[in-house]
A and B are shown apart, each in its own frame.
Chain A
């Protein structure tokens, strides 16, 4: 063995004789193991083996009673035996941040006449209607701003939207088609941070 590392935290590709090939995904694997250690979760036996072997799909499912499904699922992906199946750490960070900042967002929609609609966990629904052009309902579930109902020609950053779509954290919403009397509404979300 010529590899330096800490057993259990070492990705399977590091447990090789001779020349080993690895990349940044070895850190993603170690992060997955570290996350389990931090929450005192007894890792699956496959993970504890030296070298480790692939874990069964759903091996972390007992965590579902304490953690959101999105998080359990991405942690399981971090522990993928095949390095190419592990997620980008930025995607992991994005999901964790989303839950750590649950309910902390505030959105402000400002019509071009200055009329505002505020959405937050305290007042999670907004409904905008622009004359005969159309109407748009938005709900904040603590994680996402979602389109709940829609009528007429309404575009988000010039893309058509449909019920169930997420709104990005900043966008311009257009009421009306080209050639029609269009109206623009700005949608801006606050910037809460996990570590200021």
Chain B
């Protein structure tokens, strides 16, 4: 563990430990030369420096707004470090705790950003192989802007770990934390591959589909750990929940998303769209590109069929017709909501609305 205040290479001042991946420790550091915060990653004991360096070289090839940029790589006497663009916010995994699941408009925006980032990396010949919500960073708040996929660097590490696991026999029985964490989102051809067998970029498309399923439903499409492997093998996916198509005004977009995600979860990698196709399809989705707000429901009127939300500035009006998801807003447990607002008289109108968990 590096202590806060320590300097790495006389340039990066460590400000704190902010995370631990399967194979690396992540620190928030300040680049004193360029005067900006960065993420400083270093392999955990037992992880080879050579692999780590190789992963940095590969990650550095990707340049895109939706991919955290690799800024530097350095080795000191006792360790290797990768310096990456820092996103001040949380991972999508953490956002899910707050949202439960995303409504179709916000979900389409996230899918669009993810597809763009993956498309840029595939164009550069870089496959991620370990896409999951905890590897995607987003800015604070409910807008999910500034979305950046991180850890492209560990693509090769992942491959090595997977290869080792495959050599030991059955990858799905691996005790490796990385393998376990990746299983819920892992493509079948990667999960059941033999040692040395190559996998293509379509593995990322499967992971994107599995990740989007989780973001839109709150559920793992195939379960977790070994259960995921069994369910992928038997082709038993969780069904889409009814709430996704329950609101008639949001159902058309929800159905388009479902069919896009199903195409990503095709068993035959050749039948999946490539990332570029997906970007084009996302461009065609009619999702709200206006910002999201948070507020607190303060009153219900008309026998509970509509109500008001306290937010910055004036209160907003909402109708239950605009609510998405299983939970109805109320003035007790379900009072924290996320919405977009449209000008209206005498109050702005909130649409769509989802209940936040906290």
Q: Using a CB–CB distance below 8 Å, which chain A residues touch chain B?
A: 104, 106-108, 110-114, 116, 157-159, 169-172, 178, 184, 186, 188-193, 196
Contacts and interface: CB of A to CB of B under 8 A. Distances in A.
Contacts of A192: 283-284
16 contacts: A107-B286, A108-B252, A116-B252, A158-B343, A169-B289, A170-B289, A172-B349, A178-B345, A184-B321, A184-B349, A184-B351, A188-B105, A188-B286, A190-B287, A191-B112, A191-B285
Contact of A196 (B283, B285, B342): B283
B344 interface: yes
A194 to B, nearest CB: 11
B345 A170 contact: no
B271 interface: no
B279 interface: yes
Most B CB contacts (10 A, CB to CB) among A104, A107, A193 go to A193
Nearest to B64: A196
Given A107-B286, A111-B249, A113-B248, 9 more contacts: A170-B288, A170-B340, A172-B342, A184-B349, A188-B253, A189-B286, A190-B285, A196-B119, A196-B283
Interface residues of B, number: 29
B279 A106 contact: no
A110 B189 CA distance: 40
A184 B249 CA distance: 10
Contacts of B105: 188
B283 A108 contact: no
Interface in B314-358: 319, 321, 340, 342-345, 349, 351
Contacts of B251: 114
Contacts of B279: 196
B41 interface: no
B351 A172 contact: yes
A52 to B, nearest CB: 36
A112 B249 contact: yes
A80 B50 CA distance: 57
